[in-house]
Structure 1
């Protein structure tokens, strides 16, 4: 076996294992980088969505307060369930 290794015919199995492990480590590092990028994008999206929801909530509250203070706004009666309104195609 040593003669074959010396002649270069047989490779050391440890060397091939080292190369395989290096490739595996490189692949895992790449996957980790991609995961971190995806996580950062999702966190930014979540932050944006929450801020938009908060702004919409504030606008709804402002409009409700404005509607209550005006006094010239009437609430519409609730629609009857089970019947279609006039002019409906359903």
Structure 2
């Protein structure tokens, strides 16, 4: 069925109005910032936006405007913005997890080194005590309680 020039102008006006709403972020609950939602919001058949159909130039304009917004960092679709934010957060959390795991590994290695050093020092103390006990030139001092007890 052919449409008149007035109907085509009216459809283009509806499409442009729907395009502006979508690009401002006024996305309907079940929609996205895409051609399907644009066609639904403008009450126009989606196939009219493809090939040599009458509104193909509006599809190109819409896609160009969406890309321009995305290049400036604006994402008109809140779900797309949320997805981008969550992906960035996941990347950040993975980096933090890697750093935390690296720190844990370093601390585990440090703990093992410290325990090995303490064990070596403990063995050295026992070895020196045995040497000191076997040497007769080392004399033991009386304990403090013995000195106090003899003074009274």
TM-score normalised to structure 1 length: 0.74
Shift of 1:44: 1.3
2:134 is aligned with 1:69: yes
CA distances 1:24-80 after superposition (whole Å, capped 9, x unpaired): 101110110111111111111111110110010000010011111222211122357
1:34 pairs with 85, 99, 103, which one? 99
Bigger relative contact order (CA 8 A; separation at least 6): 2
* Number of residue-to-residue matches in the alignment: 78
Aligned structure 1 segments of 4 or more residues deviating by more than 2 angstroms: 1-5, 77-80
The separation in 1 between residues aligned to 2:24 and 2:144, in whole angstroms, is 88
Bigger Rg over Cα? 2
The separation in 2 between residues aligned to 1:19 and 1:60, in whole angstroms, is 61
